[in-house]
Amino acid sequence: LRSCGSPARTCREFAPLALLPAGKDRVLWRLQACRHASVGSCFAPDSAKDGSFSPLESNLPSPVKQEQAKVEALPDLNAKILNEDWDDIPPSSALEEISEEAAVQIIAEPILPLQSTTLRDYVDHSETLAKLVHLGVDLSQVEKRQKAGQLLLTLDFEKDIRKILLFLKDVGVEDNQLGPFLTKNPYILGEDLEALETRVAYLKSKKFGKSEIAQMVSRAPYLLLFSVERLDNRLGFFKNELGLSVKKTKDLVVRLPRLLTGKLEPVKENLQVCQIELGFQRNEIQQIVYKTPKILTASKKRLRQTFDYLHNIMGIPHHMLTRFPQVFNSKLLRIRERHMFLAFLGRAQYDPAEPSYISLDQLVSLPDEVFCTEIAKASIQDFENFLKTL
């Protein structure tokens, strides 16, 4: 028994000492115990202040009332403060009832689609995709590339992508080229930065200048995906196959860097076509390729048709075609129309030893107006009228 403010009044503590809670819980328990004591008449009621005392039995709760007092104890503000101090407030339950006003204020996040055929459905959920779009990346083109969409969804912009962007800028890719570059080659975002730096260091070791590397990377976005070994093998192939010097080999791939990234089979086939079917000598092929690298990747059918018209119809010999190989880059229709117009005017003269000589370069490179007035010595209207008769 413990004294509770009056000799005649007592409060009983029924819990054995061994069962009392420890630590913070003990503090809370003692606060609650004192609270219960005050409710259960450890202190005199207000009526006692005027000298009228009620019998002791009437102030003591019955066993049932004692149990109700424990269950219905008033909330203790001190205990609440202690809970807050110890960050021990239990989280609200998902089953807890809330008011309609509170429910209306809840903003639900849009559901991320589990599966989609377009990256557009993920842009609102992905900071990475949103920032890539801001850079100018065309996601509608990216998603057409195998597994490129899945790659982007696994990358974090700050952790994975930013360092690649800084690397590309350091290599020489301009800010306004980053979007188109990544549209064509999104896979570089998943490459190891150290491996990319090693490939650039290799190109520098081969005496490619900074501006040349920037030009090559910008025009052939897949270039830096290839290992040092593959790049070295490609440079060796063109040097040995064409018999070019190191400097000319470098110049060749700088002007057409996709020679380092494309398949070699079409290149080998075009070289065979030039030598076996078209009849060019090895040294002539070397000159043609060095002046016009695109001939190595041109359509074999187009190559044959253009040569046939130039050589067999117009009578241009091999050495003249070797001197002006850019004619192979022109459309056959343009060559045929202009040659037929010159033949109609009696001015189709392609032999430099003869008067009124017309070079193949002038034949194909000049605009229609200049070609008519300076080469054909006719008006553009005459040329257009002639074309209508074909």
Q: Do residue 170 and residue 123 come from a single domain?
A: yes
DSSP state of 47: G
Residue 126's pLDDT is what? 77
* Total count of domains within the chain: 4
Inside any domain, residue 253 = yes
Domain that holds residue 254: 207-262
Residue 87's pLDDT is what? 46
Give me the residues paired with residue 6 across strands.
Answer: 9
Q: Quick one: residue 207, left, alpha or beta (phi over 0 = left, psi -120 to 50 = alpha)?
A: left
Radius of gyration of the chain from its Cα atoms, rounded to whole angstroms: 45
DSSP-derived 3-state class of residue 245? coil
Task: Supply the pTM of this predicted model.
Answer: 0.65
Q: Do residue 128 and residue 176 come from a single domain?
A: yes
Residue 187's pLDDT is what? 96
Inside any domain, residue 313 = yes
The strand pair at 9-11 and 2-6 is best described as antiparallel
Residue 118's pLDDT is what? 61
Residue 322's pLDDT is what? 96
Residue 9's pLDDT is what? 42
Residue 360's pLDDT is what? 94
Residue 343's pLDDT is what? 96
Q: Which of 262, 280, 298 is the last residue of a domain?
A: 262
Spans of the chain, pLDDT less than 70:
1-98, 102-125
Q: Which of 274, 289, 320 is the last residue of a domain?
A: 320
